[in-house]
Structure 1
């Protein structure tokens, strides 16, 4: 990289590693290399369930050399079957599709004509080889009165920083309707640049920072070899949105903090490659203009509005330059903001859930000790001086936030809950109309932020025990932000969100050790929003 390369936000400095094995293509294993028949080495998945349909996904390896990103391998006919029973005696739909190198031998089938609110099983066959069997579920009919809806919720899964035990524990529950992933499914960094307290738990493929279509395909392929990830995808349908690391750190419509024009090529070309690989490798139905913003419905209980806050946003600005409040700057883009507002206005469900990449609740930082402030600023994307706003979040796009919250207020839209990832920490907060005068000014909505699956948190940056030094930061955050009811800056884990007509509750679970494949999990906290309240309150037990 050239000396002109801008500083990159990272919690830890890059760790030097030996070149070699990490730079090799994705290892398929001795048995796979010896096989002559096609193989299903990356699992199966389903996604974006509808009342009458669901998207099915897999990837076939027709010959050992056809590793992800290789652009080699013959066209391969793949048969798919979807049945109402696990034994496949009642096949509801079936067909064939040709997997080609043009789509990295991935397979996506958008099955329609199914029965609402019904469980199905599916599988793929190629050259006599049968894939693992997956289970999926259509959503209820639009007029169905649901008693309960339950999501597993996660974000920020860095391969090099640990194992995906969170996915294993979610898969084992057997009680979630879908897996909601809120961004940073993959990370773009080179090996050692962002890992676990400076230690690479398991190396990326490719070893270098990903830039090209082959790079992004290879990185997605590496992720899909994780057994726990495969188990969760095979158990329930996935509903996913992207954030910045599916492209590059702090991405915006015209570039990214982790992209140097010239040295790393054209930004538009990199984005096109990243999006193509994403839609090839993820069980996501491309929506408006090839983005991930779209809407799903669960009967009369909830609408789920899924956002894309990277493709259309203005470049992040520094605090103090006078542009943060400018109406010319946007995090959503005009078309997406209008789409969201009209969808919220038209909603006739009890709850309006918003899958939201970056935190919408305002966060002010005042007097923190420097040794805490600086790593916290890096983690949250603040300037090194620790100024009082994270300009990568909605705090950097205050005009859009005022417009959206004003729309909720002027149209009497209640029961809006933002579900957020991104910042490697867990939060429960009200979303105030005016933070400075809260609680007198009232709350427009509530927000539940889930922590990272593996990506470094504040204790990792400081290399201290969890819930020690960071407690001072938590106390300062809560003192300066009365709408924020709880913060955990240290833990790794996931959430389980239950929605009923009476309330929406997020249960937070933490992992014992992200660097251990056999990590255990335990419940730590729960918060809920009662219908009509627009406020979060603590609950002292998880949902059963």
Structure 2
């Protein structure tokens, strides 16, 4: 989803997809529009409410991506998907000046890799050789096994032979997960989403990289964006231009866009500092994607959706330190991570299997039991995992919001005659149908499974909407706060992607204030909102409770942006309720791997 200002057109297993190395210089597709409320529509409609219903009163830098054309290790190193005995390490080598990302050119290069317990590699514990060639866009990914749990490791790659022989990559630092039976005092994660290159600089990543208390970074999607230059810069225009200049459609296009992101110095620093646990949302392929297409995909001008999606998936797994599940056309990012007895994290894929988004005014279509956002297999995996988890906390890495945000929440028992008469969905009219609000039956299945099993301490961590939310998850929103809640949801803002003030072109914390209050008044389970700020979250899980701290950067178009603490909400053990707290977590209180 997006809030895109209208502008000019423009592992368990490995998998193999068809290759298309053509790069078009003139992608000017017509747009087909699904009759659904996207995030852009949501915030624009919210702004309209602010202006009429509620009485609400920079030049960017341009230039080539850093490191473009540099022979050697121009894209840094990264690690991800930590397990107690293994972790993925990643790099990309440019063996010659013509072997640019997406080019399909360049000789194969042997890379010797080492993993050590010290940063100068006096104590190497694992080593080997991997080949980087044009078939993988000269990326190299190793699933290093035989490691000790809850241990800090350092890793590097050395090129062997050719023009890059002897060159050594930057040194990366990573961390394995604790043993499954470990009793832990706490865990801490950086939480991020929605990093649009053109909309600003990735200062949020820099500030996270400076912390020393993170076990991993959870990236909840929209790591890249597919748009062409100038299509989605927000209020500030294109702060820095994307490559390639057109909308990305082919395998070469997706490779080039991923490569550009990997040259950002702040993102490179964060990847080199801490392992990522990532999943995709829609912009890794195309806006408002679903199982058979996307709002931002026109088959008449952009070709077959299955081919485009396969290209985006192949590039994603080449360029991301992610361990895929499934194989072939069924490769996916939904998977689970256990951190001792304290927590399990279930990362969802909410784009590959979902039905097309309904119109917000589609009435009972939203309630149809035949429609799904997860797909049946993933829903079974998710519900079974939550209700049978042996850990105290059940955390869900959730690409789109699950909390109901409705106009207004309706009590189906007392309003059935009205909803039947006028065709309103049973729970009320959703603000947006690209989220779980558009798939109410799947949400009921999940909520009921959690409630029927008496499971507590379920927390959904969410991105996508470019804004910050703390929500309780009521079984019946119309009966909140009297009725039961099945969990909580904590939503992080975008790293850079436009939010309300950007979309409206107004100063932060002006027009949005009344809208935030209106949302909370109509949806009482929404406890906190910030529609303007960019930044990240730091999420702690401890036996006594979990806590999210929201941190906001001063200005997304300032490459030297500062950061401030915005808000903190806590969920005490067994309560399923969010409560504001005034003090953020102490970074000195947690030392992962110590």
TM-score between both structures, scaled by the size of structure 1: 0.91
Equivalent-residue separation in structure 2 for 1:4 and 1:507 (angstroms): 39
Higher relative contact order (CA 8 A, sep 6+): 2
Pick from 309, 313, 316 the counterpart of residue 271 of structure 1.
309
- Contact 1:187–1:245 (8 Å) recurs in 2: yes
Match of 1:35 in 2: none
Deviation of 1:324 after TM superposition, in Å, equals 0.7
- Structure 1 residues 148-167: aligned runs within 5 Å: 148-167=186-205
User: Residues 426, 389 of structure 1: CA spacing in aligned structure 2 closer, same or farther, 3 A cutoff?
Assistant: same
Q: Does 1:6 align with 2:33?
A: yes
Q: 3-state DSSP class of the match of 1:461? A: helix
Match of 1:62 in 2: 95
Equivalent-residue separation in structure 2 for 1:218 and 1:415 (angstroms): 41
- Contact 2:32–2:296 (8 Å) recurs in 1: no
Match of 2:271 in 1: 233
Deviation of 1:315 after TM superposition, in Å, equals 0.2
Q: Does 1:291 align with 2:332?
A: yes
- Structure 1 residues 36-55: aligned runs within 5 Å: 39-55=72-88
Match of 2:567 in 1: 525
Q: Does 1:473 align with 2:515?
A: yes
- Contact 2:501–2:511 (8 Å) recurs in 1: yes
Deviation of 1:459 after TM superposition, in Å, equals 0.6
- Contact 2:430–2:437 (8 Å) recurs in 1: no
Equivalent-residue separation in structure 2 for 1:195 and 1:300 (angstroms): 43
- Structure 1 residues 388-467: aligned runs within 5 Å: 388-467=430-509
Q: 3-state DSSP class of the match of 2:254? A: helix
Match of 1:309 in 2: 350
- Contact 1:164–1:229 (8 Å) recurs in 2: yes
Equivalent-residue separation in structure 1 for 2:408 and 2:357 (angstroms): 21
Flag structure 2 segments of 5+ consecutive residues without an equivalent: 1-27, 42-61, 160-164, 410-427, 587-594
Q: Does 1:215 align with 2:256?
A: no
Match of 2:130 in 1: 97
Q: Does 1:88 align with 2:126?
A: no
- Contact 1:192–1:198 (8 Å) recurs in 2: no
Deviation of 1:390 after TM superposition, in Å, equals 1.0
Deviation of 1:342 after TM superposition, in Å, equals 1.2
User: Residues 10, 215 of structure 1: CA spacing in aligned structure 2 closer, same or farther, 3 A cutoff?
Assistant: farther
Equivalent-residue separation in structure 1 for 2:278 and 2:564 (angstroms): 24
- Contact 1:57–1:283 (8 Å) recurs in 2: yes
Q: 3-state DSSP class of the match of 1:49? A: strand
Deviation of 1:268 after TM superposition, in Å, equals 0.3
- Contact 1:184–1:244 (8 Å) recurs in 2: yes
Q: 3-state DSSP class of the match of 1:228? A: helix
- Contact 1:191–1:204 (8 Å) recurs in 2: yes
Deviation of 1:437 after TM superposition, in Å, equals 1.0
Equivalent-residue separation in structure 1 for 2:30 and 2:390 (angstroms): 55
Match of 1:182 in 2: 220
- Contact 2:31–2:297 (8 Å) recurs in 1: no
Equivalent-residue separation in structure 2 for 1:48 and 1:89 (angstroms): 25
Deviation of 1:105 after TM superposition, in Å, equals 0.2
Structure 1 runs (4+) greater than 2 angstroms displaced: 1-12, 26-30, 319-322, 386-389
Q: Does 1:338 align with 2:380?
A: yes
- Contact 2:67–2:75 (8 Å) recurs in 1: no
Aligned-residue Cα RMSD (Å) equals 1.8
Q: 3-state DSSP class of the match of 2:235? A: coil
- Contact 2:39–2:432 (8 Å) recurs in 1: no
Q: Report the number of matched residues.
A: 510
TM-score between both structures, scaled by the size of structure 2: 0.84
Q: 3-state DSSP class of the match of 1:42? A: coil
Match of 1:324 in 2: 366
- Contact 2:30–2:298 (8 Å) recurs in 1: no
User: Residues 444, 492 of structure 1: CA spacing in aligned structure 2 closer, same or farther, 3 A cutoff?
Assistant: same
Deviation of 1:10 after TM superposition, in Å, equals 8.1
Deviation of 1:115 after TM superposition, in Å, equals 0.7
Q: Does 1:111 align with 2:111?
A: no
- Contact 2:150–2:175 (8 Å) recurs in 1: yes
Equivalent-residue separation in structure 1 for 2:211 and 2:456 (angstroms): 31
Deviation of 1:28 after TM superposition, in Å, equals 3.7
Equivalent-residue separation in structure 1 for 2:268 and 2:317 (angstroms): 17
Spell out, residue by residue over 1:113-139, the C-alpha distance to the aligned partner (whole angstroms, 9 max, x if none): 111111100000001000000000111
Deviation of 1:344 after TM superposition, in Å, equals 1.1
Equivalent-residue separation in structure 2 for 1:137 and 1:53 (angstroms): 9
